[in-house]
Amino acid sequence: MSKKSKKIIVTAAVTGGIHTPSMTPYLPCGVEGISKAAIKAANAGASIVHIHAREDNGKPTSDLETIGKILKKIKENSDVIIGITTGGALGMTLEERLAVIPAFKPEIASFNSGSINFNISEMAKSIKEPKYDWEVPFLTSTKKNVFSNTFEEMERCIEIMNDAGTVPEFEIFDFGQIHNIKYLFDKGLIKKPLYFQFVPSVLGGIPLNPDNVWYFVNQLKKTFGEDVNFSMVSAGRRIFRYEVLSAILGGNVRVGLEDSLYINVSGELATSNSQQVEKIINILKMLDYEIATPDEAREILNTKGKINVNF
């Protein structure tokens, strides 16, 4: 697919494992809430939905039965590419995080490209009256958290993904992690086409600003070639400005309540994932970009197709 005809892949990260119900009444929780939110995001034009699981009270979970129910409901009602997290939630063991791959054999899944001090403890200060008892302890505990992704763990993860026929989405929290993936590439553990997700703004990782976005893209293309596929996570109120920047630099886009709770810079809460999907698609179309359908995204990323998953 030539640069001229390249279409933009739109990912909706539906719920994540960071925000809590006290921060917004619109956070999808439970099997019904998450699956319905994903289906609506797909109907709004998302090419991919990125899935974490939560209990009905919003607490992140690695329970395979819960995850399986979410995945099946989405698959039964949409042709969207269903991507699964291997990041899970902070504090989960590697075994908990990776169990989803052999269990469900998804088309695509996140691959964490190195260890970082993933600290979201400051978010607890915004919660004055917690809706649930688990929220504040969960957030404050991350001050002592190391999100471990050693080279041994990364090699184990990529072997499991290769066995399942799952395309890795390489999450990059800091610039050096690009070269972690180059190491795996040079060892022959992964092959092109590669797909990267730049994840700035996490305390412990790289800050989100235009200079860092440009440098990420520059280094990525120098390392893997001009045709490398990438996208970007944008946190906070300026999500749409940064997602447009990603598109301008030749990348794809990602929105969703995992990444940002807002619909504008004024701080108005987004009422749904589909609202964010509709807004970014409208902006991109006004700039003459075309949006990839799920099947077009499958072709771009070389995934195995909906019929070959295990759910």
The pLDDT score that the predictor gives to residue 1 is 41
Distance between CA atoms of residues 68 and 264, nearest Å:
33
End-to-end CA distance of the chain: 30
In a domain, 34, yes or no: yes
In a domain, 207, yes or no: yes
Cβ-Cβ contacts under 8 Å for 39 (sequence gap 6 or more): 73, 74, 77, 78, 80
Neighbours of 144 (CB within 10 A): 9
In a domain, 75, yes or no: yes
Distance between CA atoms of residues 135 and 23, nearest Å:
10
Residue 79 DSSP class: -
In a domain, 211, yes or no: yes
Domain count, the chain: 1
How many Cα atoms are found within 13 Å in the side-chain-facing hemisphere of 42?
A: 24
Q: What type of residue is 113?
A: S
- Name the percent of the chain lying above pLDDT 70: 98
Average pLDDT, the chain: 96
Q: For helices 239-248 and 273-286, give the axis angle rounded to 10 degrees.
A: 40
- 233 close to 220: Cβ distance less than 8 angstroms: no
**pLDDT over 50 at 3, yes or no:** no
**pLDDT over 90 at 208, yes or no:** yes
The pLDDT score that the predictor gives to residue 91 is 78
- Got the DSSP string for 125-171? GG-SS-SSTTHHHHHHGGGG--B---HHHHHHHHHHHHHHTPEEEEE
Distance between CA atoms of residues 204 and 287, nearest Å:
34
In a domain, 4, yes or no: no
Helices (H), 24-110: 30-43, 64-77, 94-98, 100-104
**pLDDT over 70 at 4, yes or no:** no
What are the pLDDT digits (tens) for 288-303?
A: 999 999 999 999 999 9
In a domain, 3, yes or no: no
Q: Mean of the pLDDT values across residues 239-260?
A: 98
CATH of the domain at 60: 3.20.20.70
Q: Mean of the pLDDT values across residues 11-21?
A: 98
Q: Mean of the pLDDT values across residues 226-233?
A: 98
What are the pLDDT digits (tens) for 172-188?
A: 999 999 999 999 999 99
The pLDDT score that the predictor gives to residue 18 is 96
Does this model's pTM top 0.85? My answer is yes
In a domain, 2, yes or no: no
In a domain, 131, yes or no: yes
CA angle 84, 169, 186 (to 5 degrees): 140
pLDDT band at 5 (very low <50, low <70, confident <90, very high): low
Full domain range(s) for residue 193: 10-308
